[in-house]
Structure formats: C-alpha cells, structure tokens
Structure 1
Amino acid sequence: MYLLYLLAALPLLVRGKATIDAEIAALEASSSPLLQYPTQLTQNLVPKQIHSHNDYWRDVPLLSALSFGVGSVEADVWLINGTLFVGHEVAALTPNRTLDSLYIQPLLKILAAQNPKDAFTVNQTTPNGVFDTSSGTPLQLLIDIKTDGVEALPFILQAFQPLRDGGFLTVFSNGTLTQSAITVVGTGNSPLEQVKALSPRDYFFDAPLTQLTDPSLNTTWDPTLSPLASTDYEVAIGWPGIGNLTPAQQANLTKFVNDAHERNIKARFWDTPGWPIQIRHTVWELLLNNGADWLNADDLEAAANF
C-alpha cells in the first residue's frame, strides 16, 4: 500500500512545491516576453551625481560607468591627422580607441534601445535618456581636448552629428535651452570664444569655478554657456582631510559653490585625494555637505556606495 502511495505522489515530487519562488524560476527559465521590455538595459539603475574621471580608463568605457548609475563621464580627446583618438597621453592612443568607437556609437545604440519606434511611442516628442529609472535625466559627457582646441572643435562638432540628428543633444537655440539625453561639455583646451560663438550651441563650456566673478574674462556665466564649473580641489581648497578645515579654506569652498549656484551652474572639484581611503571619504563628505554637485571619482563602485 505504501509503495502505491509513493507511485501516485511521484509526479508531485518531481514538479516540486507550488511556491512563488518556483513560479518565478519557471518564468525566468522560459524567457517569457512578459519579463522583457524595450528600455530595460539600464533597469534598476538610479542615476547618481558622480563624475567618472578619465572614464576611458575603465575596462569597458561608458558602460561600466552606467552600470553604477554614474551621471557624468569624461573622454580625453586628441585630434591627429583628422581623427579624434581617446587616451590620457600620446603613448596610450591606439587606432581603434576613438571618440566615435568608445562613446558616439555606444550611445547611439543605447539611445536606440531606450527610444523604440512602435505604436506606443508614435506621439512621443521628447527622447528618453540613458536611464530607465529617470528617462528625463541627461548624461553629461565631458570632452577634454588635449590638442589645439580651435583646430579640434569643428571635428568634434561633426563627430556628434549622429546624436544631433537623433535629437539627443541638449541645445541652446533662439534664446531657449532645451535639455535632451546627452549634455556635452567641453573642458581642457576647449576654446571659450569659439564655444560662445556657437549658434545653435550643443557643445557647452566647463567654466572656471574660481573665476565666475572675474570681470577680466569678459563672460556672462550661465547654464546656456556653462552648465558646469570646475576647479582643482588641491589649488582651490587645499585641505588634506586631516585636522581642521581653516576658516579661509571653508570661506573659499562656500564662495566657489555659491558663485556657481547663484548662476544655476553645478560645481565640481577635481583632483581630490584618492588615498588613503579614509581621507578620500572625508573630503567627499566635506564637498557633498557644502553643496558640491558632482563627486569626482576614479573608484566608481566606492563612490556609488558612498
């Protein structure tokens, strides 16, 4: 009798318990279309005000930053014989690592996935950005020109034409700033006067954070020209993260951040200490507590979990 009972119960034993975990496992194993949707590449990634310093150094540039929800990336760009190469120095350049291959084409692929063309989106007029959890949040892309800026700028503007054609670039035109999926900001040798002359303008300028009130620059700093202002932390503040911040250091930090915020510009401090870790975190906390908008980071995982 017991043997007959076991034989009768065998199908139930093979199937296992009818639990919710079993149902989840069955659906995941089936690759059901119920579990898939077009814009899920960056599913569950919350955008963070982290700047991926020297992003091209990552094992996988751009995508590694996005995997941590990083909202700003940076590429050092060299114009050599009409091609825009990406790397920290000349010795690091290779024929395959270009602005187009490392950033333009991957962004086009990501944004195509985030902006499917179907019956549901036929009336959509504003493109989605790279983040599925916050489609209206633009990704900031800093272009640090390492060669002559006046010579390089036309090539850089042309390189962004595919993103421009897709309506994916933030642009200032006819007195209106229209935010889109990608905000391009020039730094390094980017030529200020040439950027100011752009009309329409979809390549912006990284303003000097310590000189926003300097009349000698003959420039009105605002988000239509400079959504970002940056400076060297060591030069501007200098506090090493040990002991007490001096009144003068605190005054400088407060002034520079306030100068930016009064103009609706975001503030970034680069060259912050990377080691020891405790000091790095102390300085990060100081900057965030005093209104710095972007956390400049080399260790993205640490910054994302900070």
Structure 2
Amino acid sequence: MFFVLLLVMVASLVGLTSQRPGVFDEITMLEAANSSLLSYPTDFTQNIVPKAIHSHNDCARSVVSDLRFVSSFNGTHTIDWRDVPLLTALSLGVASVEADVWLMGETLYIGHELAALTPARTFDSLYVQPLVTIIEGQNPQSQFTANQTGINGVFDMSSATPLQLLVDMKTDGPSTLPFVISALQPLRERGYLTTCSSNGTCTLGPLVVVGTGNTPLDGILALSPRDVFFDAPLTALNSTFDITVSPIASTDYEPAVGWSGIGTINQTQLTAIQTFVADAHALGIRARFWDTPGWPIHARNAVWQTLIDNGADWLNADDLEAAAAMF
C-alpha cells in the first residue's frame, strides 16, 4: 500500500513540473528572447492619448539623441528649459507645441530670449528633423501598408489627430516668415503639412503649422497654397479669419478675463470667456487663452477648469503633468 501511495505522489510531482508555463512565464520568456511579438512599428507613442494642451518647451539640450527612431529605425507657454521639449510634450499626450524662433543671418535659432540661444539649438535640429523622423516611424513601408491612404500622425492611439506647431516669430515678421516657410520644406515635401488651396479645399496632414508672435497676417494671406496659418486675435475676430487662415485664435488671459482663480468668478468675467469662445467657434476656429495664472496651484486649477467647462479648446499650461491630469 505504501508503495502505491509513493508512486501516486511521484506521478503528481512529475505532472506539476510538466505543466505549461503560466502567462507571466510566457511573457518573461518572450521578453528575454527580445521577441518581435512584443512590439510593432508604430509603438513610439504607444498608449499615449492626445490631449488639448498647448505646450511651449523650446529651450532644450537635444531631442534627437532621445529618439528611438534615430538609432533603431494639451498648449503650454513656457518650460523652455526642458531637456527634451518635443518628446516631453508628446509623452504626456500634448497635442500642441510652440517654438520661439529668432532669425540670425539665414538660420532660425530656438529660445525664449536672446541670451538662451546657442549655435546647436535651431528650428531644424529641435523640431523639423525630429518631426520628420517621428512621422516617418509612424508610417512604416511594408506589405501591410501598400494600399494605405493618408498619413499617420504622431499619436499611435489616435493616428488621425494632427500635432499643432505654433511658430512664435521673435524677429521681424516679414523677414522671418520666408525662412520659416523654407525650413519646413522637409516636412512639406513628404506631405506632412496640413494645406489649404486657394479654392478653400484643405487637406489634413499630421502637422498643422501656425505662425504667431510677429508673424505677418498679410504674408500668411498671400500664401497659395497655404501650409502655414495665422494665430488670430481671439478678442478681435472678423471676417478675415476662417479655418483656412486661422485654425486657432488666442489672447492674453489677464486683460481679456481678469479672474485670478481666487474666490468666485463674476458674471462679467464668465461672460467674457463664453463670448470670446463663441465668436471663435462661429468661425470654425479653436480658442486659446495664454498666460493664465500659475500660482497658487488651487487658483491655477480653478482657472483651467473654468476655461475647459466654458468651451476653451486649448489648455495653455507650463506644468504639463498637472495639465494632463485635467483630462
């Protein structure tokens, strides 16, 4: 009898050791083998959902060195000193970024002020070439994409969502605009720029480029076809502006609204927000308020929430992580 029990126990142990590995064991083995089953060509922005945040992060050391594609393949208005401005924004799902450009000679340099400029940090190196690389990576050429129409954008979770790039021209607008247009050629020749023809027909691309700051309106209006647009004045919209000219309209929050976020917003201030937003929406234009209060935190959040609740389309933010948490 004892011998029979012993055989049963041995058989049970053998059965246990011969069972299939569990799901976590399988994953571990695949990871150890660097299996192609665990990745796909467009996973650069995997699981990142785009958010209506505008980010201005242009003073950085480098973006190219952090791009996986280089080696292996919500709007904010500041944080120009982030190490990887474009990638930081994309990692949080920020769908609108801004670059301050200064024309020196024939080169566009990036920085919030003159003292921040360096020879290495240019519009081409910090924005144009990285965006070329990212979008190319999101559009792999293979047997599976041979019949694909359209171009994927930067966000894997929402490939039809374009990234908005505001170009804040710090130097003389009429002199700077031609160089901006020229600098965008690598993106243009690949069909990455949203473009509107003279008959009003627009083709949506992975990028929407908008001139702001000293950008000359007459220079933008003269473009045909137009693939650089104009950041319209939110508080002074008129029949000049429509979606083929200005996909966005912006204004300084303080003079336009004035509520600090402390206490209760009064009806006049609330009506101002609602009116400016409604005026923009009537023209098919998205509304943005910049330079919103940043401190104290509870006041900042109150202003953000009020703008969101009353239809503002872009949340202008310096603290990208906090802004992303609002969505």
Q: TM-score range by the shorter chain?
A: over 0.9
3-state DSSP of counterpart to 1:144: strand
The number of residues matched between the two structures is: 300
> TM-score, structure 1 length as denominator?
0.93
Distance, in Å, in 2 between the alignment partners of 1:183 and 1:123 is 25
Distance, in Å, in 2 between the alignment partners of 1:296 and 1:62 is 16
Query: Are 2:187 and 1:163 equivalent residues in the alignment?
Result: yes
Q: Where does the alignment leave 5 or more consecutive residues of structure 1 unmatched?
A: 214-218
Amino acid at match of 2:245: L
- Deviation (angstroms), 1:244: 2.1
- Deviation (angstroms), 1:54: 3.7
Amino acid at match of 2:100: D
Amino acid at match of 1:210: T
Residue number in structure 2 paired with 1:195 = 220
Structure 1 residue corresponding to 2:163, chosen from 139, 161, 164: 139
Residue number in structure 2 paired with 1:239 = 259
Residue number in structure 2 paired with 1:303 = 323
Residue number in structure 1 paired with 2:294 = 274
Within-5 A mapping of 1:18-97: 18-56=21-59, 57=80, 58-97=82-121
Distance, in Å, in 2 between the alignment partners of 1:224 and 1:281 is 33
Distance, in Å, in 2 between the alignment partners of 1:127 and 1:211 is 35
Asked if 2 retains the 8 angstrom alpha-carbon contact of 1:55 and 1:65, the reply is: no
**Cα 1:16–1:98 shift into 2, 3 Å:** farther
3-state DSSP of counterpart to 1:110: helix
Distance, in Å, in 1 between the alignment partners of 2:230 and 2:88 is 25
Distance, in Å, in 1 between the alignment partners of 2:207 and 2:240 is 23
- Deviation (angstroms), 1:117: 1.3
Asked if 1 retains the 8 angstrom alpha-carbon contact of 2:58 and 2:111, the reply is: no
Distance, in Å, in 2 between the alignment partners of 1:286 and 1:53 is 21
Asked if 1 retains the 8 angstrom alpha-carbon contact of 2:57 and 2:86, the reply is: no
Residue number in structure 1 paired with 2:150 = 126
3-state DSSP of counterpart to 2:85: coil
3-state DSSP of counterpart to 1:31: coil
Note the alpha carbon deviations across 1:212-243, whole angstroms, 9 max, x for none. Answer: 14xxxxx5211100000000001100001112
Asked if 1 retains the 8 angstrom alpha-carbon contact of 2:58 and 2:110, the reply is: no
Residue number in structure 1 paired with 2:274 = 254
Note the alpha carbon deviations across 1:97-149, whole angstroms, 9 max, x for none. Answer: 00000000110110111011121112223111001111110000000000001
Note the alpha carbon deviations across 1:270-291, whole angstroms, 9 max, x for none. Answer: 0011111111100000000000
Amino acid at match of 1:262: A
Q: What stretches of structure 1 move > 2 A for 4+ residues in a row?
A: 8-13, 15-18, 53-56
3-state DSSP of counterpart to 1:194: helix
Distance, in Å, in 1 between the alignment partners of 2:101 and 2:19 is 58
Moved more, 132-141 or 112-121: 112-121
Amino acid at match of 2:288: R
- Deviation (angstroms), 1:174: 3.7
Distance, in Å, in 2 between the alignment partners of 1:114 and 1:54 is 23
3-state DSSP of counterpart to 1:133: helix
Identity %: 60
Note the alpha carbon deviations across 1:157-200, whole angstroms, 9 max, x for none. Answer: 01000100000000001420111100000000000001011000
- Deviation (angstroms), 1:16: 9.8
**Root mean square deviation, CA, Å:** 2.2
Amino acid at match of 1:74: E
- Deviation (angstroms), 1:17: 8.1
- Deviation (angstroms), 1:11: 11
Residue number in structure 2 paired with 1:150 = 174
Q: Where does the alignment leave 5 or more consecutive residues of structure 2 unmatched?
A: 60-79
> TM-score, structure 2 length as denominator?
0.87
Residue number in structure 1 paired with 2:283 = 263
